[in-house]
A and B are shown apart, each in its own frame.
Chain A
Amino acid sequence: MPIPKKYKTTASRFVSFLTISLLIACGSTKKWNNTVIDGKKIAITDHYTPVPEIESFIKPYREHINKDLDSVLAYCPETLDKSNSINGWQTTIGNLMADVTFQYADKALMARENRHVNVCLLNHGGIRAIISKGNVTTRTAFEIMPFENSTVVIALKGEQLMEIARYLAKEKKPHPLSGMEVHLSRDGAVTSVSVQGEPVEPEKIYNVATSDYLANGGDEMTFFAKGVATYDLDYKLRNLMIDYFKDIDTLPVTRTERIIQDK
């Protein structure tokens, strides 16, 4: 209790005595007590006029970004949408992303390690938007890939490629795949797996390009943990797509099947 320690006069002594008496009479040793808590949320709507200083502070940042994001890099001849599958096992946007990642990861791995990429596997869930027919911009790349995932190459034995094939058969999702072809029976069992047209050999090493998210076991892709080597390309998947958009004029609409099921 913050009672003044020095009692200079009788009057102040009396005041102190009263203070103590009152606090005791009150039955409380605390001075302030929390008696009510009121809680709510307030929606931020256009009812609130922006603070001009903040608005003008943001402006140059916004203008710089918009200029950069909206500059046209390429043209897309038809809408690429992950919800329109080709026979249930691939999509035009998935094929594009897997083929491009394969090609650009291969270029990077060749330059750094003098090795080729053999397969690229991404995840269907990682495609976050459509690519609309029309102009393709940097913003397109941000929309389809808002995450900061980077490209890694994992060296896997052939037996793990067989695991990938069984994973895909079980998932029944059009996960983006490139460089590898999986054949399934009518009832969905893996019948054959080939890489660049050659049957997979169990002991041979294959370089599989993917995202760091999947390489670390995301989407239950546990086979990547069995990799015998990892090459971290330090190359964001989004930047890879932006580089590709800069390099070409018109996006291809690729319908080739990579997972083929008997009918």
Chain B
Amino acid sequence: MKRRDFITKSAAGSALIMGGMSLQSFKAPEKQTITILHTNDVHSHIDPFPADDARNPNMGGAARRATLIEQIRHEQGEDGVLLLDAGDVFQGTPYFNYYGGELEFRLMSMMKYDIATMGNHDFDNGIDGFLAQLPHASFPFVSANYDFKNTVLNGIVEPYKIFTKRGLKIGVFGLGIELNGLVDKKLYKETIYHNPIEVAQDMSRTLKEDKKCDLVICLSHIGFDYKNDNQRVSDILLAKNTKNIDLIIGGHTHTFLPKPHIEKNLDGQEVMINQVGCYGLNLGRIDFTFEYGKKSSESRLLRVE
């Protein structure tokens, strides 16, 4: 709706100002920003690490993360922010063992997470254990390559979700890691795993072409890169072998990227991949600037710090 208002106003505005139809009068395109915030592999780390921790002293903590998220929401505006998690919410501290993930989901709901994907550890109390905690989550989980048809998650975990923020359509689809050999079959039951790259090719086309999304985000728990096994599907391989994906938010390998990674896709276009380690030590932030009326052929600028 906003988009339509804007077009009508700007056209009327131009009509008043312009004597002749000069192109000059229509420069200085308007801008707007969509901010993507993300975590991965938080692994039930609700409290900050203690001050005497050997590796991460005084780092992390859900209540501090909430402050940072609130600050960004305040600065960017509620309607311009999406908050994502790339899986492995569960397992790693006694909070999970005692409460089965209830507190993790409740806190994520309080922080207004918009969407998450499932990591292998989210099956640790079985697919039924996961379902039992879902009422505590005010946000959905998406997974496009897990077929849950013959499980209790059928119709509950969908392949993707489309958000409309500031008149822009943002499609987010999920990808999970192969469960066989990693998770006990009695936990994941009849969940069927499909090749993430094939599924992503299909998903990105659907979201970009059929659903006309302005942004396509892949929320992945397949791992950033496997240096010892370069055939093994990873976010790097995913980026190289797909198109129409604007951003890959990764997880699983607990990779602390010094800064977001940029990879070329099938079309030779740049794709940003980000993963922020684990245990809620960091928050990832990706700002997409949109400009009104700019030529679509103009190459976009990717900046990382």
Chain A bound to chain B? yes
Return the chain B residue nearest A54 by Cβ: B63
In the assembled complex, the Cα of A23 lies from the Cα of B68 at a distance in Å of 40
What is the CB-to-nearest-CB distance from B208 to chain A, in angstroms, rounded to a whole number?
A: 12
B300 lies within 8 A of A38 (CB):
no
What is the CB-to-nearest-CB distance from A156 to chain B, in angstroms, rounded to a whole number?
A: 20
A41 lies within 8 A of B300 (CB):
no
A44 lies within 8 A of B301 (CB):
no
In the assembled complex, the Cα of A21 lies from the Cα of B48 at a distance in Å of 57
A33 lies within 8 A of B107 (CB):
no
Mostly, the B contact residues are mixed
Given contacts A54-B66, A61-B99, contact A44 B61 (CB under 8 A): yes
Residues of A within 8 A of B181 (CB): 217
B211 within 8 A of A: no
Given contacts A33-B294, A61-B99, A69-B94, contact A40 B305 (CB under 8 A): yes
Residues of A within 8 A of B285 (CB): 39-42
In the assembled complex, the Cα of A95 lies from the Cα of B253 at a distance in Å of 32
What is the CB-to-nearest-CB distance from A109 to chain B, in angstroms, rounded to a whole number?
A: 19
Residues of A within 8 A of B124 (CB): 148
Partner of A32, one of B92, B272, B290, B301: B290
Mostly, the A contact residues are mixed
Partner of A65, one of B7, B26, B94, B289: B94
A35 within 8 A of B: yes
B23 lies within 8 A of A38 (CB):
no
B47 within 8 A of A: yes
Given contacts A41-B276, A44-B68, A146-B92, contact A35 B281 (CB under 8 A): no
In the assembled complex, the Cα of A138 lies from the Cα of B272 at a distance in Å of 44
Which of A45-53, A76-84, A114-122, A189-197 lies at the interface? Answer: A45-53
Residues of A within 8 A of B283 (CB): 41-42, 44
Residues of A within 8 A of B231 (CB): none
Which of A12-20, A98-106, A165-173, A177-185 lies at the interface? Answer: A12-20
What is the CB-to-nearest-CB distance from B116 to chain A, in angstroms, rounded to a whole number?
A: 18
B282 lies within 8 A of A33 (CB):
no
Contact residues, B42-86 vs A (CB, 8 A): 46-48, 58-68, 70-71
Residues of A within 8 A of B280 (CB): 44
In the assembled complex, the Cα of A206 lies from the Cα of B283 at a distance in Å of 52
In the assembled complex, the Cα of A185 lies from the Cα of B64 at a distance in Å of 58
Partner of A44, one of B4, B64, B167, B293: B64
Residues of B within 8 A of A42 (CB): 68, 282-285
What is the CB-to-nearest-CB distance from B274 to chain A, in angstroms, rounded to a whole number?
A: 6
A43 within 8 A of B: yes
What is the CB-to-nearest-CB distance from A45 to chain B, in angstroms, rounded to a whole number?
A: 6
A203 within 8 A of B: no
Contact residues, B217-266 vs A (CB, 8 A): 246-247, 257, 259-260
B156 within 8 A of A: no
What is the CB-to-nearest-CB distance from A42 to chain B, in angstroms, rounded to a whole number?
A: 5
In the assembled complex, the Cα of A21 lies from the Cα of B23 at a distance in Å of 10
B139 within 8 A of A: no
What is the CB-to-nearest-CB distance from B277 to chain A, in angstroms, rounded to a whole number?
A: 8
B28 within 8 A of A: no
Residues of A within 8 A of B60 (CB): 44
Which of B8-16, B145-153, B196-204 lies at the interface? Answer: B8-16
In the assembled complex, the Cα of A142 lies from the Cα of B259 at a distance in Å of 34
Given contacts A34-B290, A49-B67, A212-B184, contact A41 B284 (CB under 8 A): yes
Residues of B within 8 A of A15 (CB): 8, 11-12, 15
User: Which of A30, A31, A44, A62: most chain B Cβ within 10 A?
Assistant: A44
Partner of A34, one of B15, B67, B300: B300
A39 lies within 8 A of B259 (CB):
yes
B7 lies within 8 A of A19 (CB):
yes
Given contacts A18-B11, A54-B66, contact A37 B3 (CB under 8 A): no
User: Which of B8, B21, B63, B274: most chain A Cβ within 10 A?
Assistant: B63
What are 14 A-B pairs at a CB distance below 8 A?
A: A15-B15, A18-B14, A19-B7, A37-B300, A41-B282, A44-B68, A48-B64, A48-B65, A51-B70, A54-B62, A58-B62, A58-B63, A61-B99, A142-B97
- 6 tightest CB-CB pairs across the interface, nearest first? A50-B63, A39-B260, A19-B11, A36-B289, A48-B64, A51-B66
